[in-house]
Structure 1
Amino acid sequence: MKVQKVIYSIAIACFILTGCKTEVKKEVKKENVSLAISGMTCEIGCAKTIQSKLSKKEGVLNAKVVFTDSIANIEFDANKTSKKDLIAFVSGIAGGELYKASETTNKVNSSKKASSCSDACKEKCDMKADKMECKKDCEMACSKDKKA
């Protein structure tokens, strides 16, 4: 009889302990931020890499990096990450030596016209040593975007 009471007591205790667990799910608190990113030199190697790493970061819901404007538009869950964390994350990609991110009020629509694409790209090229080669790359990239 005593053994039976002990077994029932243990069984009831197990049911109470496992049944009383309640999961508290936090609601997603969506926020958006646009980051100006300096140091990107190409669309595939830089912009796509940053976008890919941002997309995998915990708390990031959506990330779009527009190379021609050097801007990242990020939608994130404010319960899991913050603007400050995202800026530090982007600045820390590639060992923290290549990219610098800062918050900007500019939001870029990725479906901009090709002329603004080439203008923004050519402005960046003016700061580079091999300006002509850079401008040719920009024209090819923008005409490719125009067809898509």
Structure 2
Amino acid sequence: MKFLKPIVLLITVCVFLSCGNNSKTNVHNVAGSHNSDGDNENIAANLEKISLGIDGMTCEIGCARTIQSKLSKTKGVKMAEVNFENKRGVVEFDSNRITEDEIVDIVEQIAGGDLYKVIEVKKAE
């Protein structure tokens, strides 16, 4: 019973810090091929980079990192970076394996499609 109070306090502090308005940018580079079924292995990559305006994010951990993680695990995505503070994501992808529209659909379908809306897509450098 005497350990319960410190544990509850620690959990509360962790939750408070993780959902605070933090300007840190999360970057996740994905190395290697995402293709587990062997198709398109010999096709040269046609890398493109887009910037997405994402509406609906309310915190860095639960929203920005979730979107970033989902995109990073997608076949054909080389790199995904989502910044909670400026409500933007940058995605580098192989256009031979995935399209811009598919990337937008992935973001908008997270959590059943009720939370996030891509409000802008443009080429990034």
Same fold (TM over 0.5): yes
Q: Once the two structures are superposed, what CA deviation does each residue of 1:42-95 show, in whole Å capped at 9, x if it has no partner?
A: 001100011011000011000000000110000000011010110011000010
Counterparts of 2:77 and 2:41, CA distance in 1: 21
SS at match of 2:91: strand
Whose strand fraction is larger, Structure 1's or Structure 2's?
2
Is the aligned partner of 1:49 residue 2:41? no
For CA contacts below 8 A with separation 6 or more, give which structure has more relative contact order.
2
Unaligned runs of 5+ in 2: 1-39
Q: Once the two structures are superposed, what CA deviation does each residue of 1:79-136 show, in whole Å capped at 9, x if it has no partner?
A: 11010110011000010000001333486xxxxxxxxxxxxxxxxxxxxxxxxxxxxx
TM-score (norm 1): 0.54
CA RMSD across the alignment: 2.1
Name the residue aligned to 2:82. 65
Name the residue aligned to 1:13. none
Name the residue aligned to 2:108. 91
Counterparts of 1:97 and 1:37, CA distance in 2: 13
Rg comparison, structure with higher value: 1
- 1:31 aligned residue (48, 55, 62): 48
Unaligned runs of 5+ in 1: 1-22, 108-148
Equivalences for 1:1-148 in 2 at 5 Å? Answer: 25-105=42-122
Q: Which runs of 4+ in 1 moved over 4 A?
A: none
Name the residue aligned to 1:146. none
Amino acid at match of 1:58: K
TM-score (norm 2): 0.64
Counterparts of 2:41 and 2:94, CA distance in 1: 16
Counterparts of 1:27 and 1:73, CA distance in 2: 22
Residues matched between the structures, number: 86
